Amino acid sequence: MKPSALLGLDFGITLMRRYADTDSLYIDLSERPGVESREITEGVVLDYDAEGNLVGLDIDNASRKVDLKKLTLNKLPAIIQTNTG
């Protein structure tokens, strides 16, 4: 079993959305909808599906917590798409 499966993670889709007007960053880890949210530290919220699997991560005041100028992906079997605008 893959380590991600042990954690209940489904990396079938990962989408990062940055909302400049609210300075937030949302990372979708699954196409499944979130039904429960837990704030793990101030301004960082994890979203879970009905089975308790992690499906998303919301970061408020993202520019203060994450270096948004550079994103490095390492050893991920994926197609990388960028959208500007």
Higher pLDDT, 32 or 4: 32
Domain around 24: 3-65
Residue 76 lies in a domain: no
Residue 10 lies in a domain: yes
Residue 42 lies in a domain: yes
> According to the model, what pLDDT value does residue 85 have?
55
Domain count, the chain: 1
Residue 52 lies in a domain: yes
Instruction: Compute φ and ψ for 49, nearest 5 degrees.
Output: -85, -175
Residue 74 lies in a domain: no
Listed in sequence order, the DSSP H helices in 18-66 are 62-65
Q: Which two tokens stand for residue 85?
A: 């605008």
Residue 78 lies in a domain: no
- Of the candidates 24, 11, 18, the one whose C-alpha atom is nearest the C-alpha of residue 82 is 18
Residue 46 lies in a domain: yes
pLDDT category of residue 13 using cuts at 50, 70 and 90: low
Residue 81 lies in a domain: no
Mind listing the pLDDT tens digit for each residue in 17-75? 888 899 999 989 888 899 999 999 999 999 999 999 999 999 999 989 887 777 666 66
> According to the model, what pLDDT value does residue 3 have?
36
